Chain A
Amino acid sequence: MIKKIVKFCVTAFAALIYLCPFYILIVYALKRLTDQSSKWIPPAYLYLDNFINVLKKGNLLTAIKNNIIITASAVIIIILISSFASYPLARLKTKLNNTIYMVLIAFMIVPPLSILVPLYRFMIDINGMNTYWGIILLHVTFNVPLAVFLYTGFMNNISVQLDEAAIIDGCNRISLFFRIIFPLLKNITVTVAILSGVSIWNDYQFSNFFLESSSMFTPTKALSQFISQFGNELGLVAAGCIISMLPILILYFLLQKQFMSGSVAGAIKG
């Protein structure tokens, strides 16, 4: 009995801690700038101007559109080229391929910021600043090592007998991948799409460095710029935060299970 009460109290406390930040965020967004009352008390009036104003001033709709284009293209490219790469790495374990695999995985350790200076110069040299393709290629590159790791692990568990049967039937090795192997990768593809999709959608580093013109901004970059301009109008900022996280929150509530199991699969086991 006491155990139950203690458990209930701890659970309620944890729930409170996890709900508080979102509650305060919403109250901020719904209050007038002139309203000096405590942020713990919800407003007694309905006021949605913060949302309307931040959409107008902050260019958030363009930013969300940009982010959809960038995230969707990058995720599709990641799925294609990582699953391609994993096929030889899982099926032909030659010395060369094993080395390539190890080097590829080792790239996961390099944080983008550690090579910021040369990367920034390089993006200027190839005219990749402020372009969709520039930032998409960067996102693809930095997400590919984990994706290859996941695909290769998954393919190791697909029986080679399938390949052999197909070859006897006269299938060539590359079309074998497209016809037999690729359709079997559905589950791990969902994981790869969620893991890389979330990290690209939420990215601030790359958009901060490589997107400088406001028509190319993503929501994070737009918000940070907005704050340096309208830093004292925190109600607007709060509304901007809510609008920016809405798309991914909706996706999360629809696909909770996949999000959580994605995290488990993505936890690298050395």
Chain B
Amino acid sequence: MTGKIKRFIASKYVINIMYIPVLILLVTFILVPFIKGIRISFTDWDGYSQTYHYVGLDNYTKMFSDAKVLRTIKNTFIYGFGSAIMQNILGFSFAMMFLKNSRSSKVMRTLIYMPVIISGLIMGYIWYFFFQYSGGAVNDIMMLFGKPPVDWLANGTRAVLIITGVNIFQFAGISMVIYIAGLKDIPEEYYEAALIDGATPVNKLRYITLPLLMPSINSSVVMNLIGGLKLYDVIMSLTKGGPGYDTMSLSTMVYTLYFSRSDAGYSSALGVFMVIIIAIISLSMLAFFRSREVEL
């Protein structure tokens, strides 16, 4: 035995001990809880008492007939895909506009990226000052035009759009810097060659810029999509998921089911569902973009 250990220490494999701390942490704080979570999702546990019963797949079947959860899933998709699409369109436009290193471009890049480094919770509060009912900045403008004030966040559908908008505002800057880096990597000669061939700006965009930018589009879309699907902070500061359950995302719903409704089993089932959804969506997006990348 000691001989084996000595041989291991002398071999090149000895460096494998260096990933042990990371593995211990990931197993303790992610893998084991994840497996426990799957087990809890098959029970009716309330989160604190000693007893519980196995209820089979009840929590999962319940999910798809529960109007609140269906609304939550729909909202999560709006937060995810709405943000991903708009953030990338905006981010790409900003990148094209502020690509050059002029003074005004630099100022604009600093400004547009700034919300990225601010906490989502605080970003939500900042926009709350705009949309709140009594004396909010938007209602101040309404009054200026003699219109009655509107309780912007009281309507679920509108609040979902506002939350998505805040998320887009906050993270369009990430897409912008990814696209700027990607655009700077495209060799100038390609555009020169296109110019000689008499290509129009639209042609250049379609046949040079977009195909060569595919890796950047890939990472930007997938990252924003996952960010939107996980959305939690902004919702907590703008609406806390309300009115009722109208603006809940999967994240806030998992939280509410556990802490407010003591339904740990159901909450866990929703958590497992969330991991599956995010895994499926992000893997299929990666595969979709991978097939469209071209080699330089």
Which residues on B sit within 8 Å (CB–CB) of A223? Answer: 121-122, 125
Which residues on B sit within 8 Å (CB–CB) of A130? Answer: none
User: B16 interface residue, CB < 8 Å from A?
Assistant: yes
Cα A85 to Cα B20 in complex, Å, equals 7
User: B4 interface residue, CB < 8 Å from A?
Assistant: no
User: B47 interface residue, CB < 8 Å from A?
Assistant: yes
Interface size class of A (residues with CB under 8 A): 35 or more
Say whether A114 contacts B237, CB under 8 Å. no
Contact with B along A86-128 (1 / 0, CB 8 A): 0111011010010010001001011101111111111000000
Say whether B279 contacts A109, CB under 8 Å. yes
User: A64 interface residue, CB < 8 Å from B?
Assistant: no
User: A66 interface residue, CB < 8 Å from B?
Assistant: no
Say whether B278 contacts A111, CB under 8 Å. yes
Which residues on A sit within 8 Å (CB–CB) of B14? Answer: 173-174
Question: Separation in Å of the B230 CB from the closest CB of chain A?
Answer: 5
Number of cross-chain contacts by CB at 8 Å: 252
Nearest chain B residue, comparing its CB with the CB of A167? B12
Question: Separation in Å of the A4 CB from the closest CB of chain B?
Answer: 12
Contact with A along B221-237 (1 / 0, CB 8 A): 01100100010110011
Interface size class of B (residues with CB under 8 A): 35 or more
Say whether A10 contacts B258, CB under 8 Å. no
Question: Separation in Å of the A107 CB from the closest CB of chain B?
Answer: 6
| B interface residue numbers (CB < 8 A to A) | 12-16, 18-19, 21-23, 25-26, 28-34, 36-37, 40, 47, 94, 97, 104, 108-122, 125-127, 129-130, 132, 135-137, 140-141, 143-144, 169, 174, 177-178, 181, 215-216, 218-220, 222-223, 226, 230, 232-233, 236-237, 250-251, 254-255, 258, 264, 267-268, 271-272, 274-275, 278-279, 282, 286, 289-290
- Show 25 A/B contacts (Cβ-Cβ < 8 Å), sorted by A: A11-B97, A14-B108, A14-B112, A18-B169, A21-B126, A38-B144, A40-B141, A82-B22, A89-B19, A111-B230, A113-B230, A113-B271, A114-B271, A116-B254, A137-B25, A142-B29, A177-B15, A201-B119, A202-B119, A224-B236, A237-B125, A259-B113, A260-B177, A261-B177, A267-B219
